[in-house]
Amino acid sequence: MIILAACPTCDLLLVLSLMILLGLFIGRYAERIKLPSISGYLLVGILFGFVLLWVYNDDLLETFLFITKFALGFIAFSIGLELDFKRLWARRNEVILVTMIQAIGAFLLTAVGLWIFGMPIHIALVLGSIAIATEPGPILFLTKRYKTKGDLTNTLVPLHGLEDAFAIIVFGLVLSYAVGVDQGVSMTFRNIMEGPVFELVFSIGLGTIIGFAFRSIIRKLDYRDRDKDMVVFVSAFVTIMAAIAIANRGLMLFGFSIHLSPVLLPMVVGIVFANTSTPLARKETEHMLDTFSPPIIITFFTVVGAEMVFFLFAGDFTVTGLFIRFAIVYIVFRLAGKLLGTYLGARIGKASTSVRRYLGLCLIPQAQAAIGLALYAQSLLSSSPYTDKLVLIVVAGTLVYELFGPIGLRHALLKCEDCFPITDFERTR
């Protein structure tokens, strides 16, 4: 009988390889039954999560969190590459109005709903600010998968960049207020500067610097060089890794602790490169990243599924009526805020019918970014029956949003015929 030698790292690689391979085939089967492949990836991750609970340890969760941070940064960079300022400028009023109104709608409805059902107002406001965040992964994957073009896609992609910036501002201000209430002190100018202001400014500033550095490297490339693909890929990969590392480390500057956005910073890198480099350089970079992205996308969603199981069922967690009540309120009121906010914003911004009817369905998914905000908030708030469940409420919501959100996104893209060119894949089904 053959027995493998003990090696925790090797065991993790083996599990990941099985998750990716099984995710690939379950995802393909999901598409055959008219579900997005993302739902298949998540299902595989959830199943593996329950299996891995038998051998769960903190190192395993930390490794999974590291993997999802890298994948999220990769996705954010790829979305940044899609943002063309020329096209965005022509729709600026519509995009800004829809972004702000749907974000405010999700924030207010979620916070007020939780407060009405018994949650302290400062914790309810924190969860309301987290409700603004939308997961970029399904947006990137499905718009590329179905090669969508039109009003819906042209509003959806740039909206996410603005939404993330707005979420940082609201979350930072609300968290400063919540920490003040929690510790019995008033919100100070230093709290505000260390929170949303510095996070936004430095995320955009450092992302701009890294983006220009990447552009400078690619500008020196000779496109007649037979190794150009390797140079483009390695340069892009190193740039993304640097952006992710800096975003997740944060900064210490003159005594100020500066938290950086793991979504906004790499997204800005992609935006700067896409809008300052040549069309050829941008096309080559997108081509190389699209070639490399499938295993990253599958890994991200399978690992996110396993993470959610760990958060919900590992440790001393017990299902209580209080938790179930707040989780349901969070899920329902965030959904209502997104749907009503996008419709109202699209009407005020005089957007097309497709945007008014279907954009809200595209903003349902929520996962790693929201969980990261919840973990950060919980680390600053003292232990109580409410703060202890803060992360779990968000995770329960993301479990629902990630399983069913991509279905709504796919339905919106397919239903909105003016932005969906039918592909050979769809014709043959």
With 90 as the cut, is the pLDDT of residue 418 above it? Answer: no
With 50 as the cut, is the pLDDT of residue 428 above it? Answer: no
104-152 confidence digits (pLDDT tens): 999 999 999 999 998 999 899 999 999 998 888 888 888 888 777 778 8
Under a CB-based contact definition with an 8 Å cutoff, are residues 218 and 232 in contact? Answer: yes
Instruction: Check residues 180 and 295 and name the one with the higher pLDDT.
Output: 295
Q: What's at 360, amino acid-wise?
A: G
The per-residue pLDDT for 195 is 66
Confidence of residue 413 (pLDDT cuts 50, 70, 90): confident
- Distance (Å, rounded) from C-alpha 259 to C-alpha 265? 11
Share of the chain above pLDDT 70, in %: 88
In a domain, 46, yes or no: no
The per-residue pLDDT for 420 is 46
Minimum mean pLDDT range among 5-9, 24-28, 134-138: 5-9
Written in H, E and C, the secondary structure of 141-171 is: HHHHHCCCCCHHHHHHHHHHHHHHHHHHHHH
- Distance (Å, rounded) from C-alpha 268 to C-alpha 240? 11
Instruction: Check residues 240 and 230 and name the one with the higher pLDDT.
Output: 240
Cβ neighbors of 137 (< 8 A, separation 6 or more) are 38, 71, 72, 75, 297, 300, 301, 365, 367, 368
Instruction: Check residues 357 and 85 and name the one with the higher pLDDT.
Output: 357
- Which token pair is 180? 């003040």
Minimum mean pLDDT range among 72-86, 196-210, 285-299, 311-325: 311-325
The single residue listed with the structure tokens 């965005």 is: 88
Confidence of residue 188 (pLDDT cuts 50, 70, 90): low
Cβ neighbors of 118 (< 8 A, separation 6 or more) are 325
Confidence of residue 10 (pLDDT cuts 50, 70, 90): confident
- Distance (Å, rounded) from C-alpha 403 to C-alpha 36? 10
With 50 as the cut, is the pLDDT of residue 419 above it? Answer: no
Backbone region of residue 352 per phi and psi (left: phi > 0; alpha: psi in -120 to 50; beta: other values): beta
* HSE-CB of 148 using CA atoms within 13 angstroms: 31
- Distance (Å, rounded) from C-alpha 75 to C-alpha 70? 9
Q: Is the dihedral of CA 10, 137, 232, 24 positive or negative?
A: positive
In a domain, 32, yes or no: no
Say how many domains are in the chain: 1
Cβ neighbors of 27 (< 8 A, separation 6 or more) are 37, 38, 40, 41, 298
The per-residue pLDDT for 248 is 86
Work out the end-to-end distance of the chain between its first and last CA atoms, rounded to an integer number of angstroms: 45
The C-alpha angle with vertex 277 and arms to 274 and 279, in degrees rounded to 5, equals 80
Range of the domain at 89: 60-291+317-424
The per-residue pLDDT for 114 is 94
The per-residue pLDDT for 424 is 43
- Which token pair is 395? 């995770």
With 90 as the cut, is the pLDDT of residue 179 above it? Answer: no
Q: Is the dihedral of CA 201, 206, 211, 212 positive or negative?
A: positive
In a domain, 36, yes or no: no
The per-residue pLDDT for 334 is 95
- CATH number of the CATH domain containing 138: 1.20.1530.20
The per-residue pLDDT for 317 is 58
In the chain, % helix, strand, coil (3-state, to 5) comes to 80, 0, 20
Average pLDDT over residues 230-238: 86
- Distance (Å, rounded) from C-alpha 19 to C-alpha 304? 11
Confidence of residue 191 (pLDDT cuts 50, 70, 90): low
Average pLDDT over residues 74-92: 81
- Which token pair is 36? 């997005």
Average pLDDT over residues 87-103: 83
In a domain, 30, yes or no: no
